[in-house]
Structure 1
Amino acid sequence: MNTTNNITELCELGIRIRPSKTIEGELDCIAELRLCSGDVELGEETCEIAISKMTLSLDVEGLEPVPGSRFGEPRKQPVTEMERTVTQTNSAGKTLKASAGANLDSTTPSFGISASGELQGSSQYETVLSSVDRFEHQRVKARPNLRWEVREPNDAPLDGTYLESDSLVRMSRSERANRAAFVARATVKQRDVAIKQVMQDAASLNFFKRLSTTQRRLMDIFIAKSIDAALRGSGRYSGEITLSSSSIELPHEE
């Protein structure tokens, strides 16, 4: 196993393979993932970097994912709540509302509401049905093609332990495969990275005060490009930054 955490201040990824405890002949891909915001030295400047969304991906060779074994993939259920709203308008133009089963103020002689929730009297009314879906936010959510999206509610900065000795997926060896290996990557898009300049002295503070909004945006892009070029070593910028990577080649099975 070969693991590289390129920016240790922001991301720590660990991947290992072990035989499955549930099904003989299958392999568990065990992952650990910790993320936080932090100060990173870029050239002569110190920048505070925060990440709002990250992707954890697996590229496999000679292995096949076992159906139904992926982490963070609860089946979506048809959970729907129906709410009934009753609107009444009296002769004076006053509007009263109540949900089904509730009690309206029946001091006005012209109308009221029975114990069963049905309107009484000749007042005009309408019934509105609305649905509300309730769901639980998955911080590590399975995506197609052996990818997982790591995100907080409301896109808050990622901070904390998101995987700790969790099985990402179970694998089985492909038939007649001569080699079994995979690469795990923790990557972020430039748009999901917030970079803030850290002012260390009065001179740098005065310098950055003179920057226009456009110049600040261009500087952020340049810093992001610098990080990407430093990690890849090729100078080619793809809009994606690799924070961590881990590669494993499994021994040949006799």
Structure 2
Amino acid sequence: MGRVRVVRHSGLRRRAARWRVLWGGGEALVTVGVVLLLLVVHQMWWTNREARAGAQREVRALERSWDGGGGGESRTGAPAASDTPAPESDGAREAPRPAAEPAPDWSRAYAILTIPRLNLRVPVAEGISKSGVLNKGYVGHYPGTQQPGQAGNFALAGHRNTHGEPFRYINRLEPKDTVRVETRSATYTYAVDRTLRQTAAHDGGVIRPVPRSAVRPDQGYEEPGYYLTLTTCTPEYTSKYRLVVWGKLVAMRPR
């Protein structure tokens, strides 16, 4: 007779325990993967959907309030700006002087930014906080910079990815592309002039009254003028650097 193989129960238990560990680890990895996928879907799709819808509601609300607000006067009663084109040369020449815009209402958007090349129409609110402004799909006005149409630098920030990503494609803007800023009293038209493809996130020079990069001093301007600055993160899906687009005021028209 052949020998009878003896199976040790301790060996079976060890193999069963290993399989349980492997199975449990696999389940955990699948669970983590599903959670990560849901987070990506939330960030890349849901936040965009919600922010864009909210931003468009705000644009329509602004338009309704302006249409019913009496036309040519601002909220402070100042007369509307003249319908005169601004010079396209550097700011050393005299530009038309618009009426002072009223102080923005910090509780909501107060202007509409339109970029025809990008098919973009989005509200502008005061401040650049994520929760209060940018994550709503709005464009934020840098506090301390000028208001639309004023001498100096009207500087804006916007998300490039997620939460409506209004500035995702500003890298596609070319010289002479138009950017319009509508307020209760007037519409200001800027023409794109220059693009700084990459600078440090802390480069505050790009939003100074005479914008000039503090990191790359060869990029920017030397003379006072009527400037527009658009800033966003670069490369896409990171916040390591900043992309900057500059424009100059070329026309203003009363509402």
TM-score class normalised by the smaller sequence: under 0.3
TM-score, normalised relative to structure 2: 0.19
Choose 1 or 2 for highest CA Rg. Answer: 1
Higher helix share: 2
Which structure ranks higher in relative contact order (CA pairs < 8 Å, sequence separation ≥ 6)? 1
Per residue, is there more strand in 1 or in 2?
1
Q: What is the TM-score normalised by the length of structure 1? A: 0.19
